[in-house]
Amino acid sequence: FWKEIKGKIPAFVRTGIDDENTCMRREGGVSPLVYDQIMAYLHAGGVENMRGILLLLLREFGDCPGIAAPPVYVPAWDGIYGLPEGMSEEEYLDRLAAEEEKPVIGILVHYHHILQEDTEHIDALMAAANAYGAIPLAVYTNMMPSENGYGGLKEAIRHYLKRGGESLIDALIVT
């Protein structure tokens, strides 16, 4: 596919492999400035930022005048979904670490589901865990490390699913 479009149309391609990303960025026909703008929108996530990508692409490649709004950043790329009201993440995680009677079921979710309010499946998994006498721990994360220091999935697992080097969860569901 890449050989067929390379040099014929501008292409933004992003994979999970750094060497491929370097090659695609160099050969994709998208200026470094536009590439970085697209990456900023993707990292920020959410519906408004996807709209921003479309406006940017229309301006750059569709000859449509207009200004794409800057990315709308969400403060957290990871966190606990369904955190009990009035309780901090640390308090909740400490409470789970002390839990000895009920199993804790980890539910790992990509943060885009949270940003786009696509959470019905998470709610259903949490309700099912509760119905079977378990405690759900739904954690959302961006998964991939970022250039600005966010550690991605490894950091989220270390922070949310472990305490003192020990696992907080008895099982893990990855959505």
pTM listed for this prediction: 0.63
pLDDT score for 63: 77
pLDDT score for 59: 86
Instruction: Provide the pLDDT confidence category of residue 11 given band limits of 50, 70 and 90.
Output: confident
**What angle separates helix 47-61 from helix 32-44, to the nearest 10 degrees?**
160
| Helix/strand/coil percentages in the chain, nearest 5 | 45, 15, 40
Per-chain mean pLDDT for the chain: 86
pLDDT score for 148: 60
Instruction: Provide the pLDDT confidence category of residue 74 given band limits of 50, 70 and 90.
Output: low
- 56's torsion region: left (phi>0), alpha (psi -120 to 50) or beta? alpha
Say yes or no to pLDDT of 75 above 60.
no
Distance of CA 136 to the CA centre of its chain: 20
Q: What are phi and psi of 163, to 5 degrees?
A: -140, 125
Say yes or no to pLDDT of 82 above 70.
yes
Distance of CA 163 to the CA centre of its chain: 22
Contact 115, 43 (CB under 8 A): no
